[in-house]
Structure 1
Amino acid sequence: MNEKFLVTSRADMERRGWDQLDFVYINGDAYVDHPGFAAAVIGRVLESRGYRVGIISQPDWHSAEPFKALGRPRLGALITAGNLDSMLNEKTAAKKFRSTDNYSPGGIAGKRPERATIVYANRMREAYKDVPIIIGGIEASLRRFAHYDYWSDKVRHSILLDSKADILSYGMGEHSVVEIADALAEGKNVAEMYHIRGICYVTSRPPISEKTVLCPSYEEVKADKKAFARAFKIQYEEQDPFYGRTIIQPSENRYVVQTPPALPLTTEEMDAVYELPFTRRWHPDYDDCGGVPALHEVQFSLTSHRGCFGHCHFCAITSHQGPIVQNRSHESLIREAVHMTHLPGFKGYIHDVGGPTANFRHPACKKQLTAGVCKDRHCIGSEICPNLDTSHDDYLKLLQEIRHIPHVKKVFVRSGLRYDYLLADHNKKFVEELCRYHVSGQLKVAPEHVVKHVTDLMGKADVHAFLTFKKWFDEANRKLGKKQYLVPYFMSSHPGCTLADAITLAEFLRDMHMQPEQVQDFIPTPGSLSTAMYYTGMNPLTGEKVYVARRPEEKQMQRALMQYKNPANYDIVYKALCIAGRRDLIGYGSHCLIPPRRPGKARMEKTAGRAGNRRPGNPGRKGRTLQDRQRHGFR
């Protein structure tokens, strides 16, 4: 059984007759051999090129010994924190420790360190001083320049400098990691790889030319938020693989250099990657603890494409996967689906056919495949580009073909669906077919907010698009005689959202008779435009000032207002309404959010007006206790 997986032990090496690996892959996640897990993809890609790869998953980082488990690699060490940023994996928006980790065996938290990429790289350097170290994955990819770190509330160096790695492979990595491997196999040193696309490196001699751009230094962005915004804008606008220039950022007498992004994978290359011999299950070592929970969502799902031109400003996908959609062929997807029907545990249901955005099956326009994306406009969001290719014909045909495969009972669409893109196609036929065949009672969508200046800052369509789509969705279900519902996701405390805006959203939910079961509080993760807004208080692309909710109590208020019916939220909602001067929403009328306070309750009305005037160093007992819970508490 183990021979079907990548090597994870000395015993595996001995069974294959290997005395040394070419690459040791240090992985912050449990090893799941499925194309939805980055370590499996990169490991399998290298294996397909003839390289010997072994994986050490979630090593004990307290010493270098566990990093020697597979011996000294011949060519190099590959290091990733896993499918998620390790800080995001560990802590919530309120900086509380999460109680579970879906990427660890049995869902047990605490199996990886904070800032795992840095810790693993330093331990690997301790284990083998002269072995080239290549870091990658989303944690490294989004921290490749000086960046704002929400959890420490400061600007940090490029992760390359803190990890002391030789090369950072950013983005999806299939192209760059193979080029790096081939160069190492040819005996080249790191300095001879600086031409490879999709990498970052540190040097004392930057390649200044007309094809490079210098952005503000680490020292500048740390000292001046306007400089941070300028640096971010340069990095944001040079991410295109066709016209993006090499970016150079000085940092304490050294230079972090980013080469232009790797070219998008062709359809043939995508097919080849996803048809590698994945077992599509977690490693047998995890059977006794119940496996790895993250596999359940994707085990019987199909990735039809990658990349996203949606430009949601709080999302890291565009920065990591790129804005140009790369798709797989129908033939490849059908072969994978047929294979899936013969796997143990398959019950006839394909849980998803999609990608970052399910209905983005092709590039936004033909120009992107030769000239790249537009630097001065977005394809979709608050406005829709007139050149946008909105056709859903290919995606609809794909869904039809897959649901007619023998032994497939149902094909669901569960990855994100951009309804504004669907509306731009004027495609009620797609909505009807979606409701008839591909929804199981509920369809998740993400309007995120209802106040236009907030959705504009999010890069999302305004609320009218959501209401129009809801009308189409309800009409289709009435026609089909089905009772199916939209499950909208909303976000609190995004830059630009004030307490008054949060109350407007609560009123919308009241009028629509909605009570979100899940609420996402904005988390400023490195690399996103929204995070740059959060840190600087301005939109780096326009220079306009942006309101930011920073106080833990205000963030709690905005979050609680979305679930104002929850009795546990009564006190904080009451306080928010009093502070905002919206006591008209406290009462028994149909327009009210909550009833009046019962006699004997705390003196909210007397203290609400003074709550925002306490000195920062003396928040009062109640405020201090709340802050302590948010900083140090466990959920």
Structure 2
Amino acid sequence: MQEELRLSSWLPTTRKEVKIRGWEELDVILFSGDAYVDHPSFGPAVIGRILESLGLKVAIVPQPSVTDNLQDFTKLGVPSLFFGVTGGCMDPMVSNYTASKKRRDKDAYTPNGDIGFRPDYATTVYSNILKEKFPDTPILIGGIEASLRRVTHYDYWSDKLMPTILESSKADMLVYGMGEQPLREVVRLLQKGVPFSSLKTIEQTAVLIDKDESIPKNSNWEDVEIESHETCLKDKKKFASNFKIIEQESNKLKARRIFQKVGNKTLMINPPYPTMTEKEIDASFDLPYTRLPHPKYNKRGPIPAFEMIKTSINIHRGCFGGCSFCTISAHQGKFIASRSKESILREVDKVANMPDFKGYLSDIGGPSANMYQMKGKVQSICDKCVAPSCISPVICSNLDTSHKPLTELYQAVDKHPKVKKSFIGSGIRHDMLVPEFNKNADAKELDDYTEEVMTKHVSGRLKVAPEHTSDPVLKLMRKPSFSYFHKFKERFDKINIKKGLNLQLIPYFISNHPACEVEDMANLAAETKDMGFQLEQVQGFTPTPMTVATVIYYSGYHPYTLKPTKTPKTKKEKDEQHRFFFWYKKENKDWIRKTLNKLNRKDLLNVLLPVDDKWRKNKKAKPAKHTFDDAIPFNQRKNKAKFKPKKKRR
């Protein structure tokens, strides 16, 4: 009886667990590429709990085996409403492969980090199996893989253009973005008796319409048609031109409905729902999660992704940065949906009272840690906006960038009697803390926030992401000048000395990004060395669907200007750019000398590898201690056409 009570706290995953709940049949069965962790940071759990809250009988089949007799797909029978399918919290190809297309040796969303439990293109694989076994049962796909592959897209791992995932998966409907709102409407209509096949005009969904079907009408929506999949296959420039429309419509409050011909069918992508209100997002986070992995994994080992976030608190969704290489706004949107302070504190209390809580919260954050409660001052201006970023090339004058609510939230969290310290593990937009860039904000508020973070929410290191030093690259990335990182470092150093903190500033950078040349990387290496940084763990650009940078990578054109834009694509080009991060390594020094001499950049060579008698006598001199760690891209930096020594810099 005790075991049954314990198991019934999770959504059922087996026939036995279904019986424990006293159910004879199920309304919805979910299939996921991740292990089942009943936590609000794991999308499949959120969807399962939402459906449960609507009175449905829901079960989840995590990481079903696709290499045996496929019994995982039939063991729970046929749901009365539909199958739900997701590849997991990451695109399976990102989860399975590195930027160099090598198989990863760990899967963060599987017990013990084991690999082999998630197939490539998992959503398509699962959906095809279900459609073959249960052709009459509707399939609804969602999650990051489906969301970012909802339209013709470039797939880096197969190096080809692929159609909407609705075509390859044979699914009946796709929910893009954060799925709570469209899912509620789907269920509402099904419970009213509307057939699944008639659900064509729900916001934030996409469907394929056969050539003999009429286009559903909606007098509230304007329509726009983009170039067909077949045209995109023939013309890379036209493929690039599609993306401007897709990105703008995805981030508008009053978007148009998008149509695209795919063979003899038509893809119809309905406009997104408005940004979730505080009440709506609170309702999603306040569901009865156990916040733990399912007990079935107890003997298999820890799940790395869960271990990383089990004492973290997500305070908002969305990001208005619009970085060209990032998929956050494509999935979560550019407008911020913030939870109420009360909802956050309730979750803090729940975490603090868990048996193994040691007093430390690993993160109070979101996609970008310091965007909580930020929105437009005049809503009517936001209603008309088509800009993909609210802070590039400059911060919008209509954006409220006050950090005061966030500072007050941190202080409220730290008042909990069981919380010894709360950390900020999410990336902080350092540029928004520089008054010269964030002219909308009160400079004192920015300093108060920075000091609050540095004195109370960092453990030795503050991680920020300039990403690059080249102005042309940063402009394409939708990042501000690197000069603002210099200014942030000045403020950081001032507080560090004032408070006697001895903190390290850890900047992250990215190589091989569109518009980046070898000379840009040499400038990056020289300028960061001049600032006292020695970079170690950094990241190469990985093309993922639904980003400006990936469109450029494949097509060679910038989707907004349609001007040719060069991108490093060969292994040789990528390796050479990446090597400049590690100028201090012995094996790279001769190559760097030859390369910079060839480029006639002796000024950079003199900064990176100054020649003196001591060096000539001892080529085995040890490099300085590393000060760079755990690279994950996030923010910005400035390039100078010619590197200038520190004393000449403004």
| 1:189 matched to 2:184 | no
Give the whole-Å Cα distance in 2 for the aligned partners of 1:596 and 1:218.
Answer: 60
Aligned to 1:40: 45
What TM-score, normalized by structure 2, do the two folds share? 0.88
Of residues 512, 524, 527 in structure 2, which corresponds to 1:493? 512
Aligned to 1:310: 321
Instruction: For 1:333-352, list aligned pairs within 5 A.
Output: 333-352=344-363
Q: Which amino acid aligns with 2:255?
A: G
Give the CA deviation at 1:567: 3.8
SS at the partner of 2:259?
A: strand
Give the CA deviation at 1:584: 6.5
Aligned to 2:30: 25
| 1:162 matched to 2:181 | no
Aligned to 2:389: 378
Give 5+ residue unaligned stretches, structure 1: 600-635
Give the whole-Å Cα distance in 2 for the aligned partners of 1:250 and 1:481.
Answer: 62
Q: Which amino acid aligns with 2:510?
A: M
Of residues 117, 125, 128 in structure 2, which corresponds to 1:119? 125
Of residues 354, 363, 370 in structure 1, which corresponds to 2:365? 354
Give the whole-Å Cα distance in 1 for the aligned partners of 2:296 and 2:116.
Answer: 18
Give the whole-Å Cα distance in 1 for the aligned partners of 2:388 and 2:275.
Answer: 20
What TM-score, normalized by structure 1, do the two folds share? 0.90
Instruction: For 1:527-566, list aligned pairs within 5 A.
Output: 527-566=546-585
| 1:89 matched to 2:95 | yes
Give the whole-Å Cα distance in 1 for the aligned partners of 2:420 and 2:294.
Answer: 28
Of residues 131, 134, 145 in structure 2, which corresponds to 1:139? 145
Give the whole-Å Cα distance in 1 for the aligned partners of 2:270 and 2:79.
Answer: 26
Of residues 235, 240, 248 in structure 1, which corresponds to 2:251? 240
Give the whole-Å Cα distance in 2 for the aligned partners of 1:118 and 1:590.
Answer: 51
| Shift in alpha-carbon separation, 1:176–1:504, aligned structure 2, 3 A | same
Give the whole-Å Cα distance in 2 for the aligned partners of 1:35 and 1:494.
Answer: 33
Question: Which range moved further: 288-297 or 316-325?
Answer: 288-297
SS at the partner of 1:79?
A: strand
Contact (CA 8 Å) 2:376, 2:382: kept in 1 or not? no
Question: Which range moved further: 575-584 or 556-565?
Answer: 575-584
| Shift in alpha-carbon separation, 1:547–1:40, aligned structure 2, 3 A | same
Q: Which amino acid aligns with 1:455?
A: L
Q: Which amino acid aligns with 2:108?
A: N
Contact (CA 8 Å) 2:166, 2:174: kept in 1 or not? yes
Instruction: For 1:569-580, list aligned pairs within 5 A.
Output: 569-570=588-589, 573=592, 576-577=595-596, 580=599
Aligned to 1:469: 488
| 1:9 matched to 2:28 | no
Give the whole-Å Cα distance in 2 for the aligned partners of 1:341 and 1:41.
Answer: 21
SS at the partner of 2:459?
A: coil
| 1:65 matched to 2:71 | yes
Contact (CA 8 Å) 2:148, 2:331: kept in 1 or not? yes
Give the whole-Å Cα distance in 2 for the aligned partners of 1:336 and 1:126.
Answer: 42
Instruction: For 1:386-465, list aligned pairs within 5 A.
Output: 386-423=397-434, 424=438, 425=441, 426=443, 427-465=446-484
Question: Which range moved further: 285-294 or 182-191?
Answer: 182-191
Give 5+ residue unaligned stretches, structure 2: 1-5, 620-650
| Shift in alpha-carbon separation, 1:132–1:598, aligned structure 2, 3 A | farther
| 1:99 matched to 2:110 | no
Aligned to 2:540: 521
Give the whole-Å Cα distance in 2 for the aligned partners of 1:573 and 1:198.
Answer: 50
| Shift in alpha-carbon separation, 1:546–1:368, aligned structure 2, 3 A | farther
Give the whole-Å Cα distance in 2 for the aligned partners of 1:589 and 1:509.
Answer: 10
Give the whole-Å Cα distance in 1 for the aligned partners of 2:388 and 2:362.
Answer: 34
SS at the partner of 1:238?
A: helix
| Shift in alpha-carbon separation, 1:332–1:571, aligned structure 2, 3 A | same
SS at the partner of 1:134?
A: strand
Deviations 1:562-585 (A, max 9, x none): 122234545664664465444676
| 1:224 matched to 2:235 | yes
| Shift in alpha-carbon separation, 1:108–1:566, aligned structure 2, 3 A | farther
Of residues 293, 305, 308 in structure 2, which corresponds to 1:294? 305
Give the CA deviation at 1:2: 1.3
Contact (CA 8 Å) 1:449, 1:463: kept in 2 or not? yes
Give the whole-Å Cα distance in 1 for the aligned partners of 2:11 and 2:255.
Answer: 36
SS at the partner of 1:517?
A: coil
Q: Which amino acid aligns with 1:524?
A: P
Question: Which range moved further: 205-214 or 343-352?
Answer: 205-214
Contact (CA 8 Å) 2:368, 2:427: kept in 1 or not? yes
Aligned to 1:76: 82
Give the whole-Å Cα distance in 1 for the aligned partners of 2:542 and 2:608.
Answer: 35
Give the CA deviation at 1:455: 0.6
Question: Which range moved further: 418-427 or 332-341?
Answer: 418-427
| Shift in alpha-carbon separation, 1:314–1:166, aligned structure 2, 3 A | same
Aligned to 2:637: none
Give the whole-Å Cα distance in 1 for the aligned partners of 2:12 and 2:388.
Answer: 46
Q: Which amino acid aligns with 2:25?
A: Q
Question: Which range moved further: 367-376 or 314-323?
Answer: 367-376
Instruction: For 1:247-262, list aligned pairs within 5 A.
Output: 247-262=258-273
| 1:332 matched to 2:343 | yes
Question: How large is the Cα RMSD of the aligned pairs?
Answer: 2.2
| 1:50 matched to 2:55 | yes
SS at the partner of 1:288?
A: coil
Deviations 1:306-343 (A, max 9, x none): 01111111110001000110111111111111111110
Contact (CA 8 Å) 1:309, 1:364: kept in 2 or not? no
Aligned to 2:624: none
Give the whole-Å Cα distance in 2 for the aligned partners of 1:367 and 1:117.
Answer: 40
Give the CA deviation at 1:180: 1.5
Contact (CA 8 Å) 2:249, 2:255: kept in 1 or not? yes
Deviations 1:130-187 (A, max 9, x none): 1100000000000000111111111111100000000000000001112222333333
Q: Percent identical across equivalent pairs?
A: 41
Contact (CA 8 Å) 1:65, 1:127: kept in 2 or not? no
Q: Which amino acid aligns with 1:32?
A: V
Q: Which amino acid aligns with 2:235?
A: D
SS at the partner of 2:562?
A: coil
Give the CA deviation at 1:221: 1.0
Give the CA deviation at 1:376: 4.2
SS at the partner of 2:299?
A: helix
| Aligned residues between the structures | 599
Question: Which range moved further: 254-263 or 511-520?
Answer: 511-520
| Shift in alpha-carbon separation, 1:270–1:441, aligned structure 2, 3 A | same
Give the whole-Å Cα distance in 1 for the aligned partners of 2:46 and 2:142.
Answer: 13
Aligned to 1:614: none
Give the CA deviation at 1:129: 1.3
Contact (CA 8 Å) 1:137, 1:171: kept in 2 or not? yes
Give the whole-Å Cα distance in 1 for the aligned partners of 2:608 and 2:174.
Answer: 59
Give the whole-Å Cα distance in 2 for the aligned partners of 1:384 and 1:294.
Answer: 33
| Shift in alpha-carbon separation, 1:286–1:377, aligned structure 2, 3 A | closer
Aligned to 1:620: none
Instruction: For 1:475-486, list aligned pairs within 5 A.
Output: 475-486=494-505
Aligned to 1:510: 529
| 1:365 matched to 2:381 | no
